[in-house]
Amino acid sequence: MAVLESFRLDGRVALITGSSAGIGLAIARGLAEAGATVVLNGRSAETLQSAVQALAAEGHAVHTQRFDVTDSAAVAAAVQEIEERVGPLEILVNNAGIQRRGPLAEFAEADWHELMRTNLDSAFFVGQAVARCMIPRGRGRIINICSVQSELGRPGIAPYTASKGALKMLTKGMAIDWGPFGLNVNGIGPGYFKTELNAALVANTEFSDWLVQRTPSRRWGEVSELAGAAVFLASDAASFVNGHILYVDGAITASL
């Protein structure tokens, strides 16, 4: 296979959780541009429909599947429905996530559990359900969206950092356990990107100025810049890449 052809995803079905906007939608668009049939997931029917219309207008094959990624029974039912309605899943991107900021000594227990359910439990639930379909076929790509906070901490986000650090190690564990069955499981660690989740930080001039100086590339990332990494890890070009976290962060994790 020619090198450029190995990046193509034609005929492959990809599920991207939390993909009605932001990073998830950008990754879905990238996978679709590489030829994949994408299944969008989110909580808002209105936002999902808007995303579908945007991708369909660009000529992409797109479907939706609304389900709660923190509900293991709902996840199992949704994965089965996708397999029957759309086709066998060959690509999964676990992107669903939330942020909760606050002083650790005062951090509410309910917020801790919500954050862990959304950022960590969901990747286990969806990853396991999809892997059970992939393993008998001997093939599959799973990409977990980690973070620079899988490696680095900052004041006020210790629970988020804990969830993303755990997701990094879950990614490695998935690769170790499922690699013998033909699955490749990797992670993408975004740096600071202009998303809805970071809107308050982007608008904060003091923080934004600090971040630009802290990042060797001297700017925020654009969500479209994550698409290439996702296409690579989902494709045959990454056939021997397994258990790796690819940081797309403007070198922030490389610099003190």
Radius of gyration (C-alpha) of the chain in whole angstroms: 18
Please report which confidence band the pLDDT of residue 256 belongs to, taking 50, 70 and 90 as the band edges.
confident
d(CA 93, CA 39) in angstroms, rounded, equals 10
Q: SS3 for 68-127, per residue?
A: CCCCHHHHHHHHHHHHHHCCCEEEEEECCCCCCCCCHHHCCHHHHHHHHHHHHHHHHHHH
Catalytic residue among 7, 67, 160, 193: 160
* Residues 134/84, Cβ–Cβ less than 8 Å: no
The total of structural domains in the chain comes to 1
* Domain presence at residue 18: yes
Answer positive or negative: Cα dihedral of 120, 144, 53, 63. negative
Q: Which residues pair with 190 in a beta bridge?
A: 248
* Residues 111/160, Cβ–Cβ less than 8 Å: no
* Domain presence at residue 161: yes
d(CA 132, CA 45) in angstroms, rounded, equals 28
* Domain presence at residue 220: yes
Tokens linked to 231 = 């296409």
Contacts of residue 214, defined as CB under 8 A and 6 or more positions apart, other chains included, come to 252, 255
* Domain presence at residue 195: yes
Whether residue 1 has pLDDT greater than 90 = no
100-141 pLDDT, tens per residue? 999 999 999 999 999 999 999 999 999 999 999 999 999 999
Tokens linked to 208 = 């934004």
- Per-residue pLDDT averaged across 50-73, rounded? 96
Please report which confidence band the pLDDT of residue 199 belongs to, taking 50, 70 and 90 as the band edges.
confident
CA 107 to chain centre: 26
* CATH number of the domain where residue 53 is located: 3.40.50.720
Mean pLDDT of the chain: 97
d(CA 75, CA 44) in angstroms, rounded, equals 16
The boundaries of the domain holding residue 92 are: 4-251
* Domain presence at residue 256: no
Alpha-carbon distance values, 91 to 40, 150, 198, 200, 235 (Å): 12, 22, 27, 32, 9
Strand 140-145 to strand 89-94: parallel, antiparallel, or no bridges (unpaired)? parallel
Whether residue 252 has pLDDT greater than 90 = yes
Catalytic residue list contains 192: no
2-35 pLDDT, tens per residue? 999 999 999 999 999 999 999 999 999 999 999 9
Please report which confidence band the pLDDT of residue 220 belongs to, taking 50, 70 and 90 as the band edges.
very high
* Domain presence at residue 59: yes
